[in-house]
Amino acid sequence: MSPVLLSWTSAQVRAAEEPLLASGVPLMERASFALAGVAARELRALRGRVAGSRVAVLVGAGNNGGDALFAGALLAGRGVRVDAVLAAERVHESGLAALVRAGGRTVLLGAEPGGVGAVADVVGDADLVVDGLLGIGARGGGVRGAAGELVTLLGERRAGGGGPFVVAVDLPSGVGVDDGTRAGPVLDADVTVTFGGAKPALLLPPAAAAAGRVEVVDLGLPLDAQPAVVRLEPADVAGLWPVPPPDAHKYTRGVLGVVAGTRAYPGAAVLVTTAAVLAGVGMVRYLGDVADLVVARRPEVVTGTGRVQAWTLGPGVSPEDAAQRRRVEHAFDGIVHRGEPAVVDAGALDLLPAHVGPHVVLTPHAGELARLLGERGGRDDRVPREAVEAEPLRWARRAHELTGATVLLKGAVTVVVGPHGVAYAQAEAPPWLATAGAGDVLAGLLGAMLAARDADVHDDPTLPAALAAGAALVHGHAADRANPGGPVAARAVAQALPATVAALLAGRS
């Protein structure tokens, strides 16, 4: 089993399976054997034993149900009492035969006296549920029909703290496999055993939260296509971070220009510049109305115009403020004509030119992205914040299409979209990070990375997306380091950056 880093769409997985199935490789046998192993391990952890425990197997019409039935048969062979709930009239034939041979019992959902409620009681009382209702054949929109009712009832039990431990087969049933949506009944899992490689729903919000711990079973699939969605892991930071060579000087390490803060919102200027300085940029050049305050808090910062390698624009900036607007527009001049990379956040999002390149990274939260789409897109792009939250990958992609920029969409899971279909989903941030000013810290941190790597960004249009995902990872780790398991202030996140980066570079995180 390997960690979840790369995910492939259902079509990519099917294409990879095809040649193996054609040559008779027993993929389902491998999948169900691994699945039964995970279920047995969990039973041992829950009950202290495997034999004598009770497992309910939920069986849909497809091969996902087949995996579950074969795994159920293996468990029954080890002395587990197995009840299989058949959610369709026709289920995987040889899987069903194997289960019955091994002594497993079956109920047909809908035919049971007492209806779905009675079946939910049986399933709810099991030690462990194997969810084989839907896998990569799911059409989205949640689990339909009587199985959907069963899933809803089990969800209510789980919400009340009483539900059984759930092991999802390949995916939690009901999620949108490729888009990570959650648009109907979904059976939340404690563990998801996924086959061949992860699927986008296991990394993307909101579906990813339904997966619990994800374990990838290597089936030997030739998954050599570009992954659909990637999650960077701590070890990837060393390859992205601008570590200064021995002969570095401050200009080779990059100068970041910052347009942030106003008299009304001075804190944003302090947080952005603090984060950039502590992320180790060569120099920060601050342009704005609160230079006195910024320099008092961060004496390293210089003020006034001059050459920069990259920009962070927008935190605490109001587009109605004429002076700030002029400074942002002047910066966009260099961004468009000289290709200077930039982070465009908050107030500067309203001032973005019609079309930019991927060297510009937009960092909206869902509300800001909804506004941007409404202003720049057609009628179908006028969606509320909730629609962005329900389908973050889709709408971040749309914003990339409309603007040409790399898009980092902030949230509990941060989604990044760049050119050539690259997409990342980073989930390191503790919920404590949802606090005012945290976004300003991210904008300063990412600006520092872009300033140091401006030449590389010029050569590789997909690099800003990787750097943005790396910044989200570092940001999340810094929040955790600032106060593990407890509240954090944005400034404390910035202050944790030096030690966080050192730990990540040393492989200690």
Ligand X SMILES: NC(=O)C1=CN([C@@H]2O[C@H](COP(=O)(O)OP(=O)(O)OC[C@H]3O[C@@H](n4cnc5c(N)ncnc54)[C@H](OP(=O)(O)O)[C@@H]3O)[C@@H](O)[C@H]2O)[C@@H](O)CC1
- Which spans of this chain sit near K ion (rule: CB under 5 A)? 131, 168-169, 173
The reply, when asked if residue 458 is annotated as ligand binding, is no
Which residues ranging from 381 to 410 are in contact with ligand ADP (CB under 6 A)? 410
CB neighbour burial string for 148-164, b if at least 16 within 10 angstroms, e if fewer:
bbbbbbbbebbeeeebb
Phi, psi of 7 (to 5 degrees): -135, 150
Dihedral sign for Cα atoms in the order 493, 496, 501, 504: negative
Q: Which is nearer to ligand X, 194 or 495 (CB)?
A: 194
- Binding ligand X (rule: CB under 6 A), the pick from 104, 135, 282, 316 is 135
- Binding ligand X (rule: CB under 6 A), the pick from 16, 31, 120, 433 is 31
- Binding ligand X (rule: CB under 6 A), the pick from 7, 9, 62, 182 is 62
Task: Quickly tell me which residue has 């030739």 as its tokens.
Answer: 222
* Residue 100 binds to ligand ADP (criterion: CB under 6 A): no
Cα–Cα distance between 195 and 1 in angstroms, integer? 10
- Stretch touching ligand X by CB under 6 A, among 26-34, 279-287, 373-381, 427-435: 26-34
The reply, when asked if residue 64 is annotated as ligand binding, is yes
The reply, when asked if residue 345 is annotated as ligand binding, is no
Using CB under 6 A as the binding criterion, the count of chain residues that bind ligand X stands at: 24
* Residue 195 binds to ligand X (criterion: CB under 6 A): yes
The reply, when asked if residue 170 is annotated as ligand binding, is yes
SS3 call for 415? strand
Binding pattern to ligand ADP, positions 437-476, x when CB under 6 A?
A: xxxx-x--------------------------------x-
CB of 137 to ligand X, least distance (A): 2
Q: What single-letter DSSP state applies at residue 2?
A: B
Our separate counts of H helices and E strands in the chain read: 18, 18
Q: Which is nearer to ligand X, 65 or 180 (CB)?
A: 65
Cα–Cα distance between 342 and 344 in angstroms, integer? 6
The reply, when asked if residue 34 is annotated as ligand binding, is no
- Stretch touching ligand X by CB under 6 A, among 60-68, 242-250, 274-282, 310-318: 60-68
Count the alpha carbons within 13 Å of 422 in the hemisphere toward its beta carbon: 21
Q: Which is nearer to ligand ADP, 442 or 452 (CB)?
A: 442
* Residue 95 binds to ligand X (criterion: CB under 6 A): no
Which residues ranging from 24 to 83 are in contact with ligand ADP (CB under 6 A)? none
Q: Which is nearer to K ion, 33 or 376 (CB)?
A: 33
Helices of type H across 48-174: 63-76, 93-101, 115-124, 145-159
The reply, when asked if residue 413 is annotated as ligand binding, is yes
CB of 70 to ligand X, least distance (A): 8
Rounded to the nearest 10 degrees, the angle between the axes of helix 27-47 and helix 10-22 is: 120
* Residue 414 binds to ligand ADP (criterion: CB under 6 A): yes
Cα–Cα distance between 460 and 241 in angstroms, integer? 15
Q: Which helix (H) or strand (E) holds 500?
A: helix 497-505
The reply, when asked if residue 178 is annotated as ligand binding, is no
* Residue 343 binds to ligand ADP (criterion: CB under 6 A): no
Number of Cβ atoms within 10 Å of the Cβ of 24 = 7
* Residue 209 binds to ligand ADP (criterion: CB under 6 A): no
The reply, when asked if residue 121 is annotated as ligand binding, is no
- Binding ligand X (rule: CB under 6 A), the pick from 22, 45, 48, 139 is 139
The reply, when asked if residue 483 is annotated as ligand binding, is no
* Residue 92 binds to ligand ADP (criterion: CB under 6 A): no
Cα–Cα distance between 113 and 117 in angstroms, integer? 10
- What separation in angstroms does the CA of 62 have from each of 3, 67, 84, 299, 466? 27, 9, 15, 64, 37
DSSP-assigned beta bridge partners for residue 364: none
CB of 175 to ligand X, least distance (A): 10
* Residue 8 binds to ligand X (criterion: CB under 6 A): no
The reply, when asked if residue 115 is annotated as ligand binding, is no
Q: Which is nearer to ligand X, 27 or 478 (CB)?
A: 27
* Residue 370 binds to ligand ADP (criterion: CB under 6 A): no
CB of 374 to ligand X, least distance (A): 31
Q: What single-letter DSSP state applies at residue 345?
A: -
Q: What contacts 423, CB < 8 A, 6 or more positions away? A: 228, 229, 230, 393, 396, 397, 415, 416, 417, 465
- What separation in angstroms does the CA of 432 have from each of 128, 147, 411, 424, 485? 32, 36, 12, 22, 8
The reply, when asked if residue 67 is annotated as ligand binding, is yes
Q: Which residues contact ligand ADP by CB under 6 A? A: 365, 410-412, 414, 429, 431, 433-434, 436-440, 442, 475
Binding residues for (6S)-NADPHX: 63-67, 170, 268, 316, 365, 440
